[in-house]
Amino acid sequence: MKSSVCVTGGAGYVGSQTVWALRDRGVPVVVYDNLSTGHREHLPPDVPVVVGDVRDEAALQNCFAKHKVRAVVHCAAVALVGESMRAPSMYWSINVGGTAALTGAAMACGVKAIVFSSSAAVYGEALQIPINERHPKEPINPYGRSKHVAEQVLEDARAAGGPAWIAFRYFNAAGGDSKGRTGEDHEPETHLIPNILKVAQSMKQGGVVSPVKLFGGDYPTEDGTCERDYIHTEDLAEAHIRGVEYLLAGGQSGAFNLGTGQGRSLLAMVRAARTVTGVDIPYQITARRPGDPAQLVADADLAWQELGWRAKNSSLRHILDTAWRWMQRGDGA
């Protein structure tokens, strides 16, 4: 049996796209997921899924040994900022404790590499734009803090002879699979794009809709709404594959930003979504939401220099086209 790559949280939004990309290249994959927010039906039917908790070190060891796992892409996490403020201990338990259990199992089983889904949330308030990896790490919520500490868990394990690691700090993951095989499917959905598209879909179906809420219209940006850096999940998946290859070839452990380097305003997203859907999506600008910085934009040059990776599939058009197609699956679209 060939060695395989294990994707924890592989049934989730980013994880499932990575699983499809690995499988498209013929790399043997196993998914390890407790299916709390993930969906087995978004995965290739022939990929084995081990249902388990990422904090269960013994179950992880069984999975790694049974599937001859050489590298892990570690996406399993709880990932809602608001929820992390209401239930911080769950965030420490799953995001930090889960990463600790994972490194323990990886060390016991001789896993060589871990590529970790970190987040731009480790930086906190942006002191300069674009944000590079040397920017101070002062996360402003338990979610961001849990990701920051999880990076240090990987670093400590490496110092003790554990796997080489990469922490990919994603900015805003967006879009759906170009072939319509997977996409965003969260309940509740807190991300802007699916929420804009849901309004369009309801309008198409003749439903009563509330306008999309855009928090804050008085930011020091071009149109007054916040700017974010949206990166397509296909670009994220490609980065993960390169990250695994880089580490297995002896590349140095470290953190890399993943983004496009371009900020898109909330209003620009609504306008682009109107064009893609053909629906005059209504919006309402409300008061600012506490903790929302004006701009979050990545400097992703390091990933280009070290991994030869840069965003290729993250045009607004492609992001919205693929997300819209995914949302309309089952509607005969």
Q: Does residue 57 belong to the site contacting ligand NAD (CB under 6 A)? A: no
Amino acid of residue 191: H
28 or 259: CB nearest ligand NAD: 259
- Look at the block and give the residue holding tokens 């996490």: 77
Q: Which of 54, 102, 247, 272 binds ligand NAD (CB under 6 A)?
A: 54
C-alpha 5/C-alpha 333 separation (Å) is: 33
Give me the 96-135 binding string for ligand NAD, x by CB under 6 A, dash otherwise: --x------------------x-x----------------
CB of 130 to ligand NAD, least distance (A): 16
Binding residues among 61-100 for ligand NAD as defined by CB under 6 A? 75-79, 94, 98
- Please answer whether residues 11 and 43 qualify as being in contact, where contact means their C-beta atoms are separated by less than 8 angstroms: yes
The C-alpha angle 292, 293, 297, rounded to 5 degrees, equals 125
Number of amino acids touching ligand NAD (CB under 6 A) = 27
Residue among 98 and 263 whose Cβ is closer to ligand NAD = 98
Separation of alpha carbons 213 and 216, rounded Å: 9
**Could you say which residues in the range 163-192 bind ligand NAD, by CB under 6 A?**
170, 172-173, 186
Smallest gap from residue 22 Cβ to ligand NAD (A) = 15
> Does 15 contact ligand NAD by CB under 6 A?
yes
CA–CA gap between residue 323 and residue 129 (Å, rounded): 27
Distance (Å, rounded) from C-alpha 278 to C-alpha 140? 38
Instruction: Using CB under 6 A, pick the residue from 28, 38, 243, 259 that binds ligand NAD.
Output: 38
Cβ contact 112:96 at 8 Å: no
Minimal CB distance to ligand NAD: which residue? 12
283 touches ligand NAD by CB under 6 A: no
User: Of these residues, 32, 91, 123, 143, which one is catalytic?
Assistant: 143
The token pair that represents 156 in the structure block: 């400590």
> What are the distances in angstroms from CA 56 to CA 98, 104, 116?
8, 10, 18
9 belongs to the binding site for ligand NAD (CB under 6 A): yes
Residues contacting residue 155 through CB under 8 Å, at least 6 positions apart: 165, 253
Active site includes 170?
A: no
Query: 291 to 320, contacts with ligand NAD by CB under 6 A?
Result: none
Residues in contact with 64: Cβ distance below 8 Å, sequence separation at least 6, in sequence order: 6, 72, 105, 106, 109, 111
Stretch that binds ligand NAD, among 12-20, 260-268, 281-289, 314-322 (CB under 6 A): 12-20
Chain contacts with ligand NAD (rule: CB under 6 A)? 9, 11-15, 33-38, 53-54, 75-79, 94, 98, 117, 119, 170, 172-173, 186
Residues with active-site annotation: 143
